[in-house]
Amino acid sequence: MPNIFRSCYQIIFKFCFTPLPFYNVFYSFPCKFPLRCILCDDMYKIVLSNLTFPFIYSLQKNGLFSGQQLIIFTSQDAHYSVEKLAMFMGFGSESVCKIETDQYGKMDIGDLETKVKHYINKGARPLMVSATAGTTVLGAFDDLNCVADICEKYNMWFHTDAAWGGGALITNKYRHLLNGIERSDSVTWNPHKMLIASQQCSTFLTRHKDILTNCHSTNATYLFQKDKFYDTSFDTGDKHIQCGRRADVYKFWFMWKAKGTNGLAEHVNQAFKMSEYITELIRERPGFELVLEKPECTNISFWYIPPSIRNMERGDLFNQKLNAVAPKIKEGMIKKGSMMITYQPLRELPNFFRLVLQSSNLTKDDMKYFLDEIEALGCNL
Amino acid sequence: MPNIFRSCYQIIFKFCFTPLPFYNVFYSFPCKFPLRCILCDDMYKIVLSNLTFPFIYSLQKNGLFSGQQLIIFTSQDAHYSVEKLAMFMGFGSESVCKIETDQYGKMDIGDLETKVKHYINKGARPLMVSATAGTTVLGAFDDLNCVADICEKYNMWFHTDAAWGGGALITNKYRHLLNGIERSDSVTWNPHKMLIASQQCSTFLTRHKDILTNCHSTNATYLFQKDKFYDTSFDTGDKHIQCGRRADVYKFWFMWKAKGTNGLAEHVNQAFKMSEYITELIRERPGFELVLEKPECTNISFWYIPPSIRNMERGDLFNQKLNAVAPKIKEGMIKKGSMMITYQPLRELPNFFRLVLQSSNLTKDDMKYFLDEIEALGCNL
């Protein structure tokens, strides 16, 4: 089984991260947030900065108590797990600094640098930037090269949350969306998302050899005996935080064997193709309006504006009425049992639909059906 | 589905924790360690101690930085996840205080109180005791009532790790092993262990209503919309730390439906019966020696002593030779493909076998086979 892990990840590296050597892997991790690992890398950096040796393991041994505040930067459109896990891991929500996004949902790099400087001046230590490749709502890709530059300049860990958008790496047509990912210190990529491996199948990749072992190992003697007759370096369990859980990478392995790289690429290309098609339909159809004129990923965000308010002046009252439309249509589709498309507000924007295409079995007819059905359920509101 | 969660846990409460009202539940949690939740409860206690309101959310917002060191107590035989997760969550391994165990592997309550006082005198804050109901190696049950007394006296959170031994709650014959569990602030119980639900199926129970919501909630608007047409209190996702993972409690639900409480009790009773039977066999068989004369759980720890050293004087040299026996026999069983029984050292004890019975399909013949096979593989060592 460890051989499968290794070759599975070697394939990922070969196709997606060449020529970067990504050494260590982590699978079946329940979240997207590698903070513990980062802490340890931070320790390595401290060594490199010629600080005294006893300080190296200080955080791992003594925890965060009485230490300098460590700050995590991520965009305001990043997944909520960044803040949730920061709370869980003792950093506190106040240690997560949210960076503004531009009109496309991308991290504002100027704002990032300003805020990094602000915290340095306050005496805190900027620890990492968690960039997002494919945000949850708008499907935006942060400019990874720009984030990498800032991380290098201020000596921060560079993490890329490609849980959703990582699937685009598999296809030559769309992998440019993730340019710069090869500079990441760590990457999360969930094959259960865009590649539709069966739930759950998450990967965590880092190019820092042995870092996970050094961070998480507790050498429990009842599990990780060294006096075995085979090479115990294959017993990799001690380097992650879980014990006795599913080896989810198996699913990915079998899927890859069955579909091949080309098959996975075709799957992704088809989902993108349909998302581009429905974007076109929405653009041309009266009563429909796009949130992003040119979505980068397969997330299509749009409003349906019923005839009753279609000619209203845009403003607070219009937004208030529009805000009630999507929940009402959603109620209709659920009760009828016809389809399920999520909706939500975003900052000052009223509720809009967010269609996210993952299936490559969807056809042009399906795309038309989505819009027809929304119109049928909402035209009298 | 939320209805299934609720009724599933209501059944657990009814059969296992009556008359204690356990309110909040958590499922599919990857580890056994409810620290984040505990932190929050600690905040509630601070409120009750009449401290100022702004301090209540201090830990959740500001993290552990510049705070008083918080100490977690657990026995030296407890699962390694306590230390691993303490490191992961920013407490540091030095904040985990290991309590000595007696000859049966139970936490030494005198040592617990001594160490609690020690840390108070040092200016640290004793946060919780994680007692174990069914330790991993020896299958020992800590005296939960004694631990509860100490926790009440020093105002600490009382957690019971019943991940393994919790299965005994289902049977009237063995539930006395967990007397006092009803006083716990929180309990972990993994139905995938003694009840052999399919991997993975973990539960986290706490009797503090709303505490998980208050600890973990981030109110991500793209997931937890409040403007739905049904009662959104059924949307419980925001109260745990995971997103988009399996609803593992389903497995437990179906298992319970299929086997019934009596069926589960019979399963547990049969595993205990066979463990008592093989203990008797080992006790009477030349060359075999028990680590614990009277195992409490279905963990049977024992040595096989080959004829070549059977008459040696007990001491360092004997232990050194005995230490090499179990790995060699294990190599033999793996290469032959006959069975898999784990072994490990424990403190000063040389390597011993640890047979842990989970299956109720095992018969007396199987028990004899285990010992015959070990003897056949080891008699010439």
Verify that B33 and B124 share a domain, yes or no. Answer: yes
Distance CA B180, CA B131 (A): 11
**If you average pLDDT over residues A70-96, what whole number do you get?**
88
Distance CA A75, CA A161 (A): 11
β-partners of residue B236 are none
Verify that B349 and B217 share a domain, yes or no. Answer: no
Provide the pLDDT confidence category of residue B213 given band limits of 50, 70 and 90.
Answer: confident
- Is B334–A229 a contact, with Cβ atoms under 8 angstroms apart? yes
What residues of chain B lie within 8 A of the CB of A246, using their CB?
199-200
- With CA atoms as reference, the chain A residue closest to B335 would be A229
Verify that A179 and A210 share a domain, yes or no. Answer: yes
What residues of chain B lie within 8 A of the CB of A225, using their CB?
327, 343-344
Q: What is the predicted ipTM? A: 0.82
Q: Is the pLDDT of residue B332 over 60?
A: yes
Here the CATH number for the domain that contains residue A161 is: 3.40.640.10
Verify that A241 and A315 share a domain, yes or no. Answer: no
Looking at residue B282, its amino acid is I
Nearest to A189 by CA among A23, A19, A6, A34: A34
Which of A29, A80, A219 to probe by mutation at the B interface, max B CB count within 10 Å?
A80
CB B294 within 8 A of CB B138: no
Shortest distance between the Cα of B60 and any Cα of chain A, in A, equals 5
Q: Note down the domain range covering A49.
A: 2-247
Does residue A252 lie in a domain region?
no
Verify that B308 and B242 share a domain, yes or no. Answer: no
Does residue A184 lie in a domain region?
yes
- Domain end position, chosen among B247, B281, B300: B247
Does residue A187 lie in a domain region?
yes
Shortest distance between the Cα of B113 and any Cα of chain A, in A, equals 22
Q: Is the pLDDT of residue A73 over 70?
A: yes
Provide the pLDDT confidence category of residue A223 given band limits of 50, 70 and 90.
Answer: low
Least confident segment among A240-244, A283-287, B169-173, B310-314:
A240-244
**If you average pLDDT over residues B219-233, what whole number do you get?**
71
Residue A249 — φ and ψ, nearest 5°?
-65, -20
Does residue B270 lie in a domain region?
yes
Shortest distance between the Cα of A264 and any Cα of chain B, in A, equals 22
B279-303 pLDDT, tens digit per residue, is 999 999 999 999 999 999 999 999 9
Does residue B252 lie in a domain region?
no
- The total number of structural domains in chain B stands at 2
CB A147 within 8 A of CB A99: no
B59-113 pLDDT, tens digit per residue, is 677 788 878 888 999 999 999 888 888 887 788 889 999 999 999 999 999 999 9
Verify that A239 and A354 share a domain, yes or no. Answer: no
What residues of chain A lie within 8 A of the CB of B83, using their CB?
218
Q: Is the pLDDT of residue B212 over 80?
A: no
What residues of chain A lie within 8 A of the CB of B62, using their CB?
92, 94-95
Verify that A118 and A17 share a domain, yes or no. Answer: yes
Name the helix (H) or strand (E) containing A88: helix A81-88
* Between A6 and B374, the higher pLDDT residue: B374
Least confident segment among A235-239, A289-293, A375-379, B115-119:
A235-239
* Between A83 and B242, the higher pLDDT residue: A83
- With CA atoms as reference, the chain B residue closest to A30 would be B242
Does residue B253 lie in a domain region?
no
Distance CA B205, CA B318 (A): 46
**If you average pLDDT over residues A371-380, what whole number do you get?**
97
Verify that A110 and A167 share a domain, yes or no. Answer: yes
* CB-based burial label for B105 (10 Å; 0-12, 13-18, 19+): buried
Does residue B256 lie in a domain region?
no
Does residue B254 lie in a domain region?
no
Verify that B229 and B291 share a domain, yes or no. Answer: no
- Domain end position, chosen among B212, B247, B282: B247
* Contacts of A48 by beta carbon, 8 Å cutoff, 6+ apart: none
* Between B118 and B16, the higher pLDDT residue: B118
Least confident segment among A104-113, A184-193, B152-161, B282-291:
A184-193
CB atoms within 10 A of CB B373: 17
CB B20 within 8 A of CB B182: yes
Shortest distance between the Cα of B337 and any Cα of chain A, in A, equals 15
**If you average pLDDT over residues A41-70, what whole number do you get?**
59
Shortest distance between the Cα of B62 and any Cα of chain A, in A, equals 4
- Is A65–B243 a contact, with Cβ atoms under 8 angstroms apart? no
**If you average pLDDT over residues A47-58, what whole number do you get?**
43
What residues of chain B lie within 8 A of the CB of A136, using their CB?
222
Helices (H), chain B: 2-12, 35-48, 58-62, 81-88, 109-122, 144-154, 211-216, 249-284, 307-310, 316-323, 325-336, 364-378
CB atoms within 10 A of CB A115: 18
Here the CATH number for the domain that contains residue B271 is: 3.90.1150.170
CB B379 within 8 A of CB B216: no
- Is A63–B94 a contact, with Cβ atoms under 8 angstroms apart? yes
What residues of chain A lie within 8 A of the CB of B325, using their CB?
none
Look up the pTM and report it: 0.86
Verify that B219 and B340 share a domain, yes or no. Answer: no
Verify that A45 and A138 share a domain, yes or no. Answer: yes
* Between B67 and A141, the higher pLDDT residue: A141
Verify that A191 and A73 share a domain, yes or no. Answer: yes
**If you average pLDDT over residues B13-19, what whole number do you get?**
52
A7-32 pLDDT, tens digit per residue, is 666 666 555 554 444 444 444 333 34
- Domain end position, chosen among B221, B247, B273: B247
